[in-house]
Structure 1
Amino acid sequence: MLQLLLGGSGSGKTTLLYQRIRARAEKGEKSILLVPEQFTSSTEGRIYRELGDALSGMVESFSFTSLAEKILSTEGGAAVQTLSDAGRAVLVRRALEELQDNVHYYHRHRRSAAFCQMAAQTIDELKSAGLSGRQLAQLAGACGAESGKLSELALIFQGYETLLARSGMDPSDRLELAGARLEEALARHSLPEFLRDRAVFIDEFDTFNAPKKRLLGAMLAALPSVTVALCDDGAPLLPGDLSLFSGAKQVAAQLRQLARKNGAEVAVPQLLRKDLRHRNAPGLAAVAELLETGS
């Protein structure tokens, strides 16, 4: 089941997540808390402060990267080599060398380390958006004057993918592989031990790229409860909405769609309306309300 926990900044979303984690721990039920990479250290400290010695062992905190590695270590795939940024740039250069006369716009840049690094970064962003080299090639034809350059970038991307398949994985590929391994485990009715009967709580994210959605989809299908906290005022998403919370509303809609696609129920969102952070500072509370509502 997908449970969305919505509220503005300072409305108590994180506090409520910890309360639910603690309540589960007191009943002997284990949980997983998923946060961005930059919050992993502070999250470990807060878990200990909130739950203490007796209960902190009932919750594990992960980033998407560390969760993927945990899945791969139990389900297979952890030993596959992951390329560094430098290694990915080398693959771009090799792809350019192999393409030879098929590339006109970018051929002269094949010996430029800066270009190869930039191309590798671009490919990483495209993969994060869920695009393959073949899909980019299909899209390039409809891009008018820039179609030639995009078509060549698609060729480089496809060459990169071919070379990558022989040598290892990108970091983002590990998330995709972890999602695939989790899907396979679910099909066998044999989840990894560390995931069985766990409720997952996800905090501090404002977006999820394609590899993370793959892993999220597998968790929604496999686990009894996935709760996601989003900074959202709970108002409906309207066409052309560019308000402060429009991005979070789009993410919420994507998560609902992802849950339904994976056969998970979608609970009614829980909306937190109070500004708890500024309850003793009415001036700041008024400023926060102005920023959120525009009035």
Structure 2
Amino acid sequence: MSLQFILGNSGSGKSHYLYQQIVNESMEHPEKNYLVLVPEQFTMQTQRDLCAAHPRGGIMNIDALSFMRLAYRVFEEVGREEQPVLDDEGKNLVIRRIAGKLEDDLKVLKGNLKKQGYISEVKSVISEFVQYGVDFDKLDDFMEGLSQESYLYYKLQDIRKVYEGFEEYLRDRYITKEEMLDVLARAVCDSELLKGSVIALDGFTGFTPVQIRLISELLKVSEKVIVTVEIDRREDPFIYRHPYQLFALSKQMVTSLVKTAQDAGAEVEESVCLYEKVPYRFRENPEMAFLESELFRYSRRQYKKKKEESETCSGAISLHETKNPREEARYVAESIRKLVREKDYRYRDIAVIAADLNLYADALEKACELFEIPVFMDHKKSILLNSFVEYLRSLLAMAEQNFTYESVFRHLRTGLCGFTDKEIDRLENYCLALDIKGYKKWQQAWVRRTPSTGEKELEELNHLRVIFVEKTMGLIQVLKQKKKTVRDVTQAVYEYLVQEKLQQKITQLEKKFQDRGELALAKEYAQVYRIVMELFDKFVSLLGEEEIALKDYCELLDAGLEEAKVGVIPPSLDQVMIGDVERTRIKNIKALFFVGANDTLLPGNTGVGGLLSECDREQFQKKEISLSPGA
């Protein structure tokens, strides 16, 4: 029952030291469990590092887990029969439905609910409240101190109504991911896996109150908890004054964990300090070492290159200015090609980080394609632009809008309807020329001619019209019924997809992309049908028997699809990694290109957007209600 910190600068070898220590101890004590907890997106890399650090190349009594995976492992062991877990897509669906029912009572949220992404923002605030233990009592107390005419008061009133409806709906049915850690904390004392184990926490910048409660329980049953902390040797990690000091997140984490350990009756061991003058990572790169040491310190020191350094690391840090993202991407691609050809770099030794990947993704992909550079775009891709998802959304939009010209040809142009491009062009030209719109006009035989339409052409157009109307007829009849439930609509759409053999068509597209070497697209199409089917299952299990209008169903579908993301594992080892500042974790690289480094994109819009502004968060802070860190 003890807590120990491993302190050190960026690049000082904290993770390396921790993994070596755990590997050595695990060989000495094969009967003991060693658990390494890391952020979700870093579990695979940590497993690889631990295997590489082990002399035998394998790990038997060491596990690399995230908090969520630990929860599943413990539940599996202790046999808890808990309610099913509601994921982010499910939350979006429930919140969309509840907000729709409460729409007339909402003042601030009412006009925004139909905006794309707005439901996700409401979900994020509710998730944050759950993680940080902001319950209805706390929220009510906080709102009592606000002026009843303030915008924040009305906003919180709306959020509270949706929050209450959400909790009411979930009661005794589901638990959320955020609540899982509380359930895990209650199960810790029953777990043999955790008793007497050594638990290491690596790669975290801080913990939420829910995670702190869990760590408190882990301290009571484990032999030792080890935490790596990034901090400078000139700072005292045990004194936290305010959120704007350097290494404030690290200090807040250390002080909160020390208090937790004291409350749990655990000993705080002497910290391991890896404060070398030059961090291990930059031992052969004095320019980078100087930057790490002086950045944000305002010491006014300047770097003076020594004569012997001129050859070894010439231009280790350089700045380049271009007119636009396209030119910037081209410069990066040219430089990568040069490094590979002249300096014997491998593609995997190079990474590109963008301040805003949405702005740079296309430009970087095109530039790298031009120079034949293999790349992996490290971002979870929204499936809204996938052709199958567009097929599904446009199919429902077509029924809802009663076959308007735009909705019909939006659907036909997805490429999955079984018509050739030439046939669609002919249909479109005819409909435009004679202003054909509405389901009745598509059901009636077309007899009018345009100057370019002969009798044979009109006959062929009618043949295409009949094929299209006959195959959609059964679905349209169900969708046009006045009384229908979520289950009815979902079942009718599913049967239509089966009738049209959409799964086979998507498999063919996947194979086509594989043959063309577009592996990332192939993997996206390998997942998309399953994602949509799982979403349909959630529709039926969460909202099955509720009556719904087609317009509301379309909005519900969009709310679910907005949250669905396709994650792709790098299809090849030797590729340039392209990612963004927040998500991407890169390891063992020799060259890094940072694009989009200007005062608009850096530090970026971390404090902008979201339902709670920075000012709102400051008001919570004044009342000593902690929320996630601001910008």
Fold shared, TM-score > 0.5 on shorter chain: yes
Aligned partner of 2:212 in structure 1 is 213
Distance 1:111 1:294, change over 3 A: closer
Contact 2:83-2:174 at 8 Å conserved across structures: yes
Contact 1:4-1:230 at 8 Å conserved across structures: yes
Aligned partner of 2:168 in structure 1 is 162
Shift of 1:13: 0.8
Q: Which of 167, 174, 181 is equivalent to 1:175?
A: 181
For the pair 1:288 / 2:292, whether they are aligned, the reply is yes
Shift of 1:94: 4.2
For the pair 1:152 / 2:163, whether they are aligned, the reply is no
Q: Which of 43, 53, 56 is equivalent to 1:53?
A: 56
Alignment of 1:1-295 (within 5 A): 1-28=2-29, 29-53=32-56, 56-77=59-80, 80-96=83-99, 99=102, 102-107=105-110, 114-144=117-147, 145=150, 146-182=152-188, 186=189, 191-233=190-232, 235-236=235-236, 237=239, 239-240=241-242, 242-274=244-276, 275-291=279-295, 293-295=297-299
Shift of 1:107: 4.6
Q: After TM superposition, which residue ranges in structure 1, 4 or more long, deviate above 4 angstroms?
A: 97-102, 107-114
Contact 2:240-2:251 at 8 Å conserved across structures: no
Distance 1:111 1:53, change over 3 A: same
Please, what TM-score do these two structures have when normalized by structure 2? 0.43
Identical residues among aligned pairs (%)? 25
Contact 1:31-1:198 at 8 Å conserved across structures: yes
How far apart, in 1, do the equivalents of 2:221 and 2:100 lie? 44
Shift of 1:22: 2.0
How far apart, in 1, do the equivalents of 2:88 and 2:58 lie? 40
How far apart, in 2, do the equivalents of 1:205 and 1:196 lie? 23
What letter is aligned with 2:154? Answer: G
Shift of 1:264: 1.4
For each residue in 1:209-251, what CA deviation from the matched residue of structure 2 results, as whole angstroms up to 9, or x when unmatched?
2222222121111111000001012523353362331111111
How far apart, in 2, do the equivalents of 1:113 and 1:286 lie? 45
How far apart, in 2, do the equivalents of 1:30 and 1:77 lie? 21
Please, what TM-score do these two structures have when normalized by structure 1? 0.88
What letter is aligned with 2:167? Answer: E
How far apart, in 1, do the equivalents of 2:114 and 2:57 lie? 58
Distance 1:65 1:149, change over 3 A: same
Contact 1:93-1:111 at 8 Å conserved across structures: no
Mean Cα displacement is larger for which, 280-289 or 223-232? 280-289
How far apart, in 1, do the equivalents of 2:69 and 2:142 lie? 34
How far apart, in 2, do the equivalents of 1:244 and 1:233 lie? 9
Contact 1:6-1:229 at 8 Å conserved across structures: yes
What letter is aligned with 1:272? Answer: L
Distance 1:78 1:279, change over 3 A: farther
Contact 1:137-1:150 at 8 Å conserved across structures: no
Shift of 1:115: 3.6
How far apart, in 1, do the equivalents of 2:177 and 2:226 lie? 26
What letter is aligned with 1:62? Answer: L
Q: SS in structure 2 opposite 1:6?
A: strand
For each residue in 1:69-117, what CA deviation from the matched residue of structure 2 results, as whole angstroms up to 9, or x when unmatched?
1112222446521123232123224444665765444356566674433
Mean Cα displacement is larger for which, 207-216 or 196-205? 207-216
Q: SS in structure 2 opposite 1:33?
A: strand
How far apart, in 2, do the equivalents of 1:17 and 1:82 lie? 33
What letter is aligned with 1:159? Answer: G
Aligned CA RMSD, in angstroms, stands at 2.4
Aligned partner of 2:526 in structure 1 is none
Contact 1:179-1:214 at 8 Å conserved across structures: yes
Distance 1:113 1:173, change over 3 A: farther
Q: SS in structure 2 opposite 1:167?
A: coil
How far apart, in 2, do the equivalents of 1:238 and 1:218 lie? 24
Q: SS in structure 2 opposite 1:277?
A: helix
How far apart, in 2, do the equivalents of 1:290 and 1:224 lie? 38
Distance 1:83 1:55, change over 3 A: closer
Contact 1:5-1:269 at 8 Å conserved across structures: yes
How far apart, in 2, do the equivalents of 1:154 and 1:66 lie? 31
What letter is aligned with 1:247? Answer: L
Q: SS in structure 2 opposite 1:229?
A: strand
Q: SS in structure 2 opposite 1:193?
A: coil
How many residues are aligned here? 288
Contact 1:204-1:229 at 8 Å conserved across structures: yes
Q: SS in structure 1 opposite 2:77?
A: helix
Distance 1:7 1:132, change over 3 A: same
Distance 1:101 1:282, change over 3 A: closer
Gaps of 5+ in 1: none
Shift of 1:18: 1.4
How far apart, in 2, do the equivalents of 1:93 and 1:135 lie? 25
How far apart, in 1, do the equivalents of 2:100 and 2:53 lie? 56
What letter is aligned with 2:33? Answer: K
How far apart, in 2, do the equivalents of 1:119 and 1:225 lie? 39
Contact 2:194-2:218 at 8 Å conserved across structures: no
Contact 2:196-2:221 at 8 Å conserved across structures: no
For each residue in 1:25-59, what CA deviation from the matched residue of structure 2 results, as whole angstroms up to 9, or x when unmatched?
22124311111111111111111110143762121
How far apart, in 2, do the equivalents of 1:86 and 1:38 lie? 19
Distance 1:155 1:261, change over 3 A: farther
